Structure 1
Amino acid sequence: MLQSTLLSSQVIKQAENFSSNKQKQFVACRYLLAQLLNRHLDIVSLPNIKIAENSRPQFEKSHLPDFNISHSGDFIAVAISSEGRVGLDIEFDRPRKNILTIAKQFFSEQENIWLNKQINILSAFWQLWTLRESALKLYAKGVWQMKELEIMMPAQKASAKFATEFYLYHQKLEHIYLSVCCGKPIYTIVID
């Protein structure tokens, strides 16, 4: 495995504990995070990461930006935020069986009404799913808390029992659905 000046030997050593595919994904995510920090914030190498409450990774030093990582298939995405916490979710555009059953189980009544009015129900499903996942990841909540969250479509506003501040962004990039959620207004999105 190649060592980068952006990644410490500790990160490379951590990766060795994983299977081959997980190892590649782990290093790729950490390398992309290090690149973003270097390019946008002039941070020379990846700072130490700790696992905080609810298993949410964060930098050990609290003055550093928040980050979130997502992967789907062979795709990875990393978001950093110097203005508060960030949640990120991506999903590869793929068929999904029983989407209406899943939607009824996890989505609100209003979301299901919106979903069933869409021309491309699968695309609308992935949009809602990634928006919801990014909001859950922002507040370090689990999928079992998905029923406590509601996305008001098409405005892409959210409300939940566990938080009051949601600022959402969604975009489809070729074969990937990408959603970002922040606890503060999103003024700039840079997609590298």
Structure 2
Amino acid sequence: MVTLVTGDIAALSAPDVVARWLPASVSAAAPDGPRRQPFLAGRVMLAAHCPDESLQALTYNHHGKPAFTRPGAPFFNISHSGNEIVLAIDTFAPVGVDIEIERPRKTWPRIAQDYFGAAELQRLKALPETEQLCAFWHGWTLREAVLKQRGGSVWDMAALDVSTSALNAHNLYTRWHHQHPCVIAVCAAHPFDLAVVTMTRA
């Protein structure tokens, strides 16, 4: 089972919510600028759903992916798009999650050509025009979730084979969750069911 927690960045980073859930040292470590609210909202979600873990003792890989340091602690990953934020928690193995607001993007064919494989790009272009943008966002979130599960970066995306057979050969499994207006992809190192929870200010 993988738990997927969804939330609203503005609500979860509000001063009263932050004061309730976060130690002062964690709040003080939040970056300034546009990254501040997503950082605080993500840490609030972690505090609420991983209460036995220390937020002061996170470690980061060379791509900046955070993890708990305690042996036996759950694995997690966080993603946000616009005002939407998600937290994926897996008890057993590293997990990756990506969320994107399904929005118009005129440059998607060029992005797909740069980062998707030739076979997938051909499948995209063969779809009815009204379905292509949605399929692009599915492909993008899937790649991001797989990369984040592995601890990689977007620069590795073009080399990914995200066909089901290729992923399963590496013991990687994926699921999508749709929460209008967003598409969310989750990748774990084992077959899994997805338990979806929405976190509010309370």
TM-score exceeds 0.5: yes
Q: What fraction of aligned residue pairs are identical, expressed as a percent?
A: 32
Which residue of structure 2 lines up, in the alignment, with residue 96 of structure 1? 105
The alpha-carbon deviation at position 159 of structure 1 amounts to 2.9
Contact between 1:88 and 1:133, CA under 8 Å: does it hold in 2? yes
Contact between 2:61 and 2:151, CA under 8 Å: does it hold in 1? no
- Per the normalisation by structure 1, the TM-score is 0.84
Which residue of structure 2 lines up, in the alignment, with residue 13 of structure 1? 28
Contact between 1:65 and 1:81, CA under 8 Å: does it hold in 2? yes
Name segments (4+ residues, structure 1) moved above 6 Å.
none
The alpha-carbon deviation at position 75 of structure 1 amounts to 1.1
Which residue of structure 1 lines up, in the alignment, with residue 91 of structure 2? 82
- Per the normalisation by structure 2, the TM-score is 0.80
List alignment gaps of at least 5 residues for structure 1: none
1:118-137 mapped onto 2 (5 Å cutoff): 118-119=127-128, 120-137=131-148
- Cα distance in 1 for partners of 2:180, 2:69 equals 35
Moved more, 92-101 or 46-55: 46-55
1:37-186 mapped onto 2 (5 Å cutoff): 37-38=50-51, 43=52, 46=55, 48-119=57-128, 120-152=131-163, 157=164, 159=166, 164-186=170-192
- Cα distance in 1 for partners of 2:119, 2:97 equals 23
The alpha-carbon deviation at position 79 of structure 1 amounts to 0.7
Which residue of structure 2 lines up, in the alignment, with residue 36 of structure 1? 49
- Cα distance in 2 for partners of 1:184, 1:8 equals 34
* Count, aligned residues: 180
The alpha-carbon deviation at position 30 of structure 1 amounts to 0.7
- Cα distance in 1 for partners of 2:53, 2:110 equals 47
Moved more, 140-149 or 52-61: 52-61
Q: What is the root-mean-square deviation of aligned Cα atoms in Å?
A: 2.1
- Cα distance in 2 for partners of 1:18, 1:60 equals 25
Secondary structure at the counterpart of residue 103 of structure 1: helix
- Cα distance in 1 for partners of 2:122, 2:178 equals 22
CA spacing shift, 1:147–1:159, aligned 2, 3 Å? farther
Contact between 1:6 and 1:45, CA under 8 Å: does it hold in 2? no
Contact between 1:50 and 1:60, CA under 8 Å: does it hold in 2? yes
CA spacing shift, 1:158–1:71, aligned 2, 3 Å? farther
The alpha-carbon deviation at position 146 of structure 1 amounts to 0.8
Secondary structure at the counterpart of residue 69 of structure 1: strand
